[in-house]
Copies of this chain bind each other. A is one copy, B any other.
Amino acid sequence: MDDERLGPVTLLDVAREAGVSLSTASRALNRGARQVRADLAARVLAAAETLNYSTNAQAQAVARGKSNTIGLIVSDISDPYFSAIAAGAIRTAEEHGLVVMMACTFRRPERELEYVSMLRGQRACGAILTGSRVTDTVLLDRLGAELDAFQRTGGRVAAISQNKLPVDTVLIENRAAARDLAEALCQVGHRQFAVLAGPPELMTARDRLAGFRQGLTRSQVPLPAAHVIHGEFTRDGGYAAAREVVRRRLDVTCIFAVNDVMAVGGMAALRDRGLEPPGGIAIAGFDDIPALRDVTPALTTVRLPLEELGVSAVDMVLQPPSDKPRLRRVQGDVVLRASTPPPGKRPAGKR
């Protein structure tokens, strides 16, 4: 059944096998451009079949000057936040016949630069930046320049998170949602908070902290500077920060972790001291990671449509370029669950 050719079978081989010219074979395979007589087309297809021909996408891209590859840059694919976004993006990309190249920065923002540059080398038709912007403005400028170069080769760019770059953006309303969360927690009766604030240079973390603080202010609840503990944006970072809250005997009834992964780490730290909710210190997160919905007590959080974020980003990349960067706002919804019961079971500061 199989042909035992040694070298790779090329389009020319198919053409010869079908007894037609190179161009006819090409046209028959990529239906759409010019019409090919039905019987010839059939012969070409048959020839391709028997020869087990596979068109060389690279060569095709070179000749066409355009590829069907889209780049997806995430901070850490093993973080459920990013893997959910990636799932949405990959599914959508595939629906549009695109293949996705994945790159992880492993939380080193400067690697975004290298990856965008690499994607330019690949002549990717699009790039999606899923990670948070950082406060480093020189990095921001260099990234902007790199993205500019990328766009000049015909690539389209979409960012998910903050709109700090002159590219299409899916803007996550971290600030507003964190504000809502703070107000909801005050509504429940909390008045003494600590925040596991993540890395100070990460804008996503900053915005969530700022929004939370704003919500507290609106509710006339103070947040002492000493109650804001910075650390890694990971489970272990949350654990360490919460341990710090306990170690310093901060007088709080509720902890806000700026993401769910940290909240789970924080809850583990509380549990190690017998201080978990209910009865201990309440704790809330942010993101509503699906895989974390079964932790106990169930985590109060802000729900984000993670997969949709990825879908939207791909959609933006697929749209024809516009002069003005597009902006799509996505809001989060507060979800109150068992991890934040009203305070008072156990007198605050009495530990």
- Which residue in B58, B80, B267 is a CB contact (below 8 Å) of A83? B80
Contact of A104 among B87, B149, B264, B268 (CB under 8 A): B87
Q: Contact between A235 and B268 (Cβ–Cβ < 8 Å)?
A: no
CB atoms of B153 and A54 under 8 A apart? yes
Contact present for B80 and A78 (CB under 8 Å) = yes
Counting chain A residues whose Cβ lies within 8 A of the other chain, the interface size class is: 35 or more
Q: Which residues of B contact A154 (CB under 8 A)?
A: 8
* 30 pairs of residues in contact across A and B, judged by CB atoms under 8 Å: A8-B153, A8-B154, A52-B149, A54-B120, A54-B121, A56-B62, A57-B122, A58-B58, A58-B59, A58-B61, A59-B62, A78-B87, A80-B80, A86-B102, A90-B102, A90-B103, A91-B106, A94-B103, A94-B104, A99-B103, A99-B118, A100-B102, A100-B103, A101-B101, A101-B102, A102-B102, A271-B296, A294-B295, A295-B295, A296-B296
Tell me whether B103 and A77 are in contact (CB under 8 A). Answer: no
Considering the complex, give the chain B residue whose CB is closest to the CB of A261: B291
Q: A99-B122, A267-B294 provided; 6 other pairs, C-beta below 8 A?
A: A54-B117, A77-B83, A80-B291, A94-B103, A100-B102, A235-B291
Is A294's CB under 8 angstroms from B90's CB? no
B58 touches A123 (CB 8 A): yes
Question: In the complex, A99 Cα to B71 Cα: how many Å?
Answer: 10
Kindly state whether residue A255 has any CB partner on chain B within 8 Å: no
Does A312 sit within 8 A of B, measured CB to CB? no
- Chain A interface residues (CB < 8 Å from chain B): 2, 8, 52, 54-59, 61-62, 67, 69, 72, 76-78, 80, 83-84, 86-87, 90-91, 94, 99-104, 106, 117-118, 120-123, 145, 149, 152-154, 235, 261, 264-265, 267-268, 271, 290-292, 294-296, 307
Assembly CA distance A1 to B78 (angstroms)? 39
Complex CA distance for A104 and B117, rounded to whole angstroms: 25
Q: Which residues of B contact A52 (CB under 8 A)?
A: 149
* CA–CA, A122 and B101, complex, Å: 12
Task: Specify how many copies of this chain sit in the oligomer.
Answer: 2
Given contacts A77-B77, A123-B58, A265-B294, A100 and B99 within 8 Å (CB-CB): no
Q: Cα distance A54–B118 when bound, in Å?
A: 8
| A101 & B100 in contact (Cβ 8 Å cutoff) | yes
Residue contact B83 to A104, C-beta cutoff 8 Å: no
Min CB distance A290 to B, Å, is 8
CB distance from A224 to the nearest CB of B (A): 28
Chain B positions within 8 Å of A122 at CB level: 57-58, 99
Give bound CA distance, A121 to B101, whole Å: 15
CA of A84 to CA of B291, assembled, Å: 14
CB neighbours (8 Å) of A56 from chain B are: 62, 121, 123
